Amino acid sequence: METISINTSHGGIQGVYRHDSAECRCPMTFAVFTPPQAADGPCPVLYYLSGLTCTHQNVMDKGEYRRAAAEHGVLIVCPDTSPRGNGIANDEAYDMGQGAGFYLDATADPWAKHFRMYSYVTRELPQLIEPNFFADMTRQSIFGHSMGGHGALTIALKNPDTYRSVSAFAPIVNPISVPWGQKAFPAYLGEDRALWRQHDAAALIEDGHRVEEILVDQGDKDQFLTEQLQPEALEAACTNAGIDLTLNMRPGYDHSYFFISTFMEDHIAWHAQRLKA
């Protein structure tokens, strides 16, 4: 593992690192904020999954998570959104290819060789975090934004014994029914719609997957709200399944990091309470 940068912030350490990924078959970069409490022992881990076009850098620069993470003693891990580099499949559009991994393991060519973000986030990255950082891997949670909110929800629903809590900012909750998913899923997964359902939060809940509770914040001025996000689909699925969903519709907020940074501390505090229970 190569250290790219180290900075002190709020008494903790913000680092950026690169390693050769076995899952993605290319170098992958990620960021970790280690809170000051790590000096006294291992800290719980909270993964943040970013949205379309983003890298680890967007939330690191704009997410404003370090003060709250330092206050609550939570280690924050921010992976990239896809494999990147020469020789890796890509698409000229922003919502396919590099920067748009959708947190799944692709099964269709040309994506299958490198686009294995589900296995990277759920298996390889935790195996890297555990021996190299002051992390308590018995206490893990996950959250994300937009495509990353989709990733956080689907990963938590499929691994309820691994993650103690899950939340999202403006998540894509029903990708099989919206343009982003209807474009990405056939490309990455082929035409097997049963496989698509395994990467759709609303469908997973309909098919019997469960978590105890979900926190979602959504801006009512989000430019993608009606066409791409449709939080009412998650609300209906959670109601039918008896999952405790807190859906906060935030007046005036859009899809940007101005929105995310406003409510970031609320989410970290919410996760910290469950990670320390």
Q: Report the C-alpha gap between 67 and 72 in whole angstroms.
A: 9
The band of 258, judged by pLDDT with boundaries at 50, 70 and 90, is very high
Q: How far is CA 121 from CA 88, 127, 249, in A?
A: 19, 10, 28
Give mean pLDDT, residues 62-84: 98
Q: Report the C-alpha gap between 180 and 185 in whole angstroms.
A: 8
- For the entire predicted model, the pTM comes to 0.97
Tokens 């990255």 — which residue?
A: 125
pLDDT value of residue 277: 84
Catalytic residue positions? 146, 222, 255
pLDDT one-digit tens code per residue, 100-124: 999 999 999 999 999 999 999 999 9
**Structure token pair of residue 43:** 């800290």
- Phi-psi region at 25: left, alpha or beta (left = phi > 0; alpha = psi -120 to 50): left
pLDDT one-digit tens code per residue, 179-235: 999 999 999 999 999 999 999 999 999 999 999 999 999 999 999 999 999 999 999
Give mean pLDDT, residues 1-18: 98
Spell out the domains of the chain, with CATH numbers in brackets.
Answer: 2-275 (3.40.50.1820)
Strand partners, 213: 244
Closest-CA residue to 96 (of 81, 107, 118): 81
Tokens 């007046």 — which residue?
A: 251
> For residue 125, which phi and psi values (nearest 5 degrees)?
-60, -45
Number of Cβ within a 10 Å radius of residue 124: 18
Query: Could you please report the per-residue DSSP string of 245-267?
Result: EEEEEETT--SSHHHHHHHHHHH
Across all residues in the chain, what is the average pLDDT? 97
Sequence-distant (≥ 6) Cβ neighbours of residue 208 within 8 angstroms: none
